A and B are shown apart, each in its own frame.
Chain A
Amino acid sequence: MSYLAALDLSISFGGIRAVDDVSFEVEEGEVFAIIGPNGAGKTTLFNLVSGIYSPDGGSVRFAGRDITSLPAHRIAPLGLARTFQNIELFEHATVLQNLLIGRHVHRRSTALSHLLFLPAVRREELEHRRRVEDVIDLLELAHYREQRIANLPYGVRKVVEVGRALCLEPKLLLLDEPTSGLNPEESEDMGFWIEDINRDLGVTVVMVAHDMGLVSRVAGRVLALNEGRVIAEGSPAEVQKNPAVVDAYLGAE
């Protein structure tokens, strides 16, 4: 039984089949990449898995549970975190607050005890902060801790978003184009962090990527999509040589 499994997932917007009978399986502990040209349905597939959209057909299983019909806020506590292609941070809050929001699923106290800020709430807050500082150390964000997102450069925002997802202490991390818009140096750092997250923290990673260099470095297996359909699956080298993939990117001769 695989860790994350999508079976015949489909969704249409108007007359367009954005994702069409897509199936794939991800094993626990691996780094799995999804590639494909623009409009292939990669982000839509992520939105289906993380519960932002509900599919027209097919199912998603995660850690032995059917999560197809669960809303996004019920999926996150199961240990599934994600980032967004177009960075969806909490703009008017600081980096620290963003990361603390990432720990929402680990709260234990009730709203009523928050009104009074009982000693148990303070203990819990201290515990959250300790965990958040670990993530800040890992991603080297200490310098930006107190800054508001609105004042941060693009590259740092991208890292903060990964940090927020890590604060959830996920078992599975969905990264939507972690290196898009980053310069080569930042991309390389991101690659190292993805390896660290996978090896040291033991988090299974599924990522959408355009950067084949990054994919061949960190990913074990690759799924290639085009126009909502699976066109190839295998190791990075195999997929890169697959004629259907070459056609999809460069056009058929």
Chain B
Amino acid sequence: MRFLFKTHYNQDIDHLKHGGDRFWYGLLLVLVAAAPAALGTFYLGELNLVMIYAIAGVGLMLLVGYTGQVSLGHAAFLAIGAYTHSLLLGAGLPFLLSIVAAVLVSALVGAGVGWIALRMTGIYLAIATLAFAMLTEQTISRAEWLTGGFRGLAVPQASLFGMPLTQGWQHYYVTLTLLVVTLLAALNILRSSTGRAMVAIRDSEISAESVGINLAVYKTLAFALSAGITGLAGALFAHRLGYLSPDAFTFLISLQLLLMVVVGGVGSMRGVIYGALFIGFLPQLLAIARDTLPPQIAQAPGLEPGIFGLILVLVILFEPQGIFGRWLKIKSYFQLFPLYRRATHRRQKTYLRTERLR
């Protein structure tokens, strides 16, 4: 076990707490930066997708894991980011400006949804956000003059600093950079009073109010932040798809995003990355499983959402803290060996609460 002797408050505030952290995160950064040299086009593309999922996951985690507000409609913010980015890019805006605009538009819509949903919690909030996602999907498919409806919208070629982004590795580095920036921004929020206010709302609204936290402001802010970050993922997702149509942003995507947050580990940013890896490679596993299953089952409609739903239920039942929680247990098993006791990690309430005081 590692014992840290703290001599300055800065040691609590810094992201990387000690030499071990600096070494391992540094190594991880070197590895992912070197990945294009080692991986083929297919796997690089898959890794790119995982990182896009991770960005969206950071957004959803801030809302679900840290503010305690459930959303079943984050596919809508993904869609809003993707369409805004593509349309602005098509109108001749530079890549970076168009991405910033996509983030701002998504954040603005998110603030609107958050403001309207202020009075709702738990299951009612989940239903309201689901309704919003369906509304968005319908609006996109009906507004043919703008989005092309089901005919679709081709995503224009992007170029960065005059260099056209055509290769997989170029997109990979753009996504990687934005993921790191997003993660740092989210962690910065969490180590300041804004993030603490969000955590306060998650754990007890009545106390949060009593220490002077304005619930309306911080819930709306959390929605806006979450939606903005998801919109950023949407803009990158647009390039991955190449061609946007409303059926790319269905309920299944919202469910996948929520699954990622829950499977990864609610209330942890590292969990987002684990969850994104899981979601990114699950379809591959399913494809392999399909080959071995009898065709009656393998070809059954709704197999994928069914399996996603099943995993979600099983994780909530048996490992509410997700992959990150499991990792913590394995770590403390080895650190405390042979004194580890299961009771150390007694089951606690999850953050997805359906009822509140008052």
Contacts and interface: CB of A to CB of B under 8 A. Distances in A.
Given A73-B213, A117-B188, A164-B211, A90 B199 contact: yes
A54 to B, nearest CB: 13
Nearest to B267: A92
Nearest to A103: B193
Interface string B1-28: 0000000011011000000000000000
Interface stretch (A60-68, A125-133, A180-188): A125-133
Contacts of B357: 88
Contacts of B202: 90, 92
Contacts of B210: 50, 52, 72-73, 76, 81-82, 84, 88
A150 interface: yes
B273 interface: no
A156 interface: no
Nearest to B348: A150
A125 to B, nearest CB: 6
B191 A105 contact: no
Contacts of A97: 196, 199
Interface stretch (A7-15, A24-32, A33-41, A107-115): A107-115
A117 B14 CA distance: 11
B332 interface: no
A89 B210 CA distance: 11
A50 B209 CA distance: 10
A90 B200 contact: yes
Given A73-B212, A91-B349, A114 B188 contact: yes
Contacts of B213: 73, 101, 104
B280 interface: no
A48 to B, nearest CB: 13
A130 B9 contact: yes
A102 interface: yes
Contacts of B12: 96, 129
B212 A104 contact: yes
Contact of B206 (A88, A103, A130): A88
Contacts of B191: 117, 125
Contacts of B267: 92
B196 A114 contact: no
B351 to A, nearest CB: 7
A141 interface: no
B299 interface: no
A197 interface: no
B197 A104 contact: yes
B204 A89 contact: yes
Given A73-B210, A101-B213, 8 more contacts: A50-B210, A84-B206, A84-B207, A88-B206, A91-B203, A104-B196, A122-B13, A164-B211
What are the 8 tightest A-B residue pairs by CB atom distance, in nearest-first order?
A: A76-B212, A90-B203, A114-B192, A105-B212, A72-B209, A117-B188, A88-B207, A107-B193
